[in-house]
Amino acid sequence: MTLSQRLKDLAKSLKQELEVYRLVLKDKRTPWLARILLGSAVGYALMPFDLIPDFIPLIGHLDDLIIVPGLVFLALKLIPEAVVADARNRVALLSDSIKPEKPVNASSSSE
């Protein structure tokens, strides 16, 4: 497997995970504390600035590697497994049902 293929697969799985988190946040069965933690994790990851600047050696980059996964881990522990499973199933069904269109060959058009 080439590096570009691995990066594409990683991007696809990250996109699917973010969609799972979005569905979990919208689900009424999700506890409020889990919503706060998961929403904070997504917000922190997408924030254009860091609370601890990256130019501070070691700690600046570690905050991204510890805070976001830690908040996601805690939130997922608080969310009932059925809610997460339902969200993952919905995302899997959506990704299976949306297939990219085949490109149209310009030379095959009849004029």
Q: Does 69 fall in a domain?
A: yes
More confident residue, 14 or 28: 28
| pLDDT at residue 111, rounded to an integer | 47
Q: Please enumerate in sequence order all residues whose Cβ is within 8 A of that of 25, keeping only pairs 6 or more positions apart, or say none.
A: 35, 38, 39, 42
Predicted confidence band at 55 (pLDDT cuts at 50, 70, 90)?
confident
- Mean of pLDDT values over 77-84: 96
CA 2 – CA 24 distance, rounded (Å): 33
pTM of the complete model: 0.72
Tally the domains of the chain: 1
Any idea what DSSP says for residue 108?
Answer: G
Q: Does 108 fall in a domain?
A: no
Residue 106 has pLDDT above 60, yes or no: no
Q: Which domain holds residue 52?
A: 36-90
Q: Does 76 fall in a domain?
A: yes
Q: Does 71 fall in a domain?
A: yes
Q: Does 52 fall in a domain?
A: yes
Return the ∠ at Cα 14 (arms to 26 and 103), rounded to 5°.
Answer: 105
Q: Does 49 fall in a domain?
A: yes
Task: Tell me the average pLDDT of the chain.
Answer: 84
Q: Does 86 fall in a domain?
A: yes
Specify the 3-state DSSP secondary structure of 18.
helix
Residue 80 has pLDDT above 70, yes or no: yes
| pLDDT at residue 89, rounded to an integer | 95
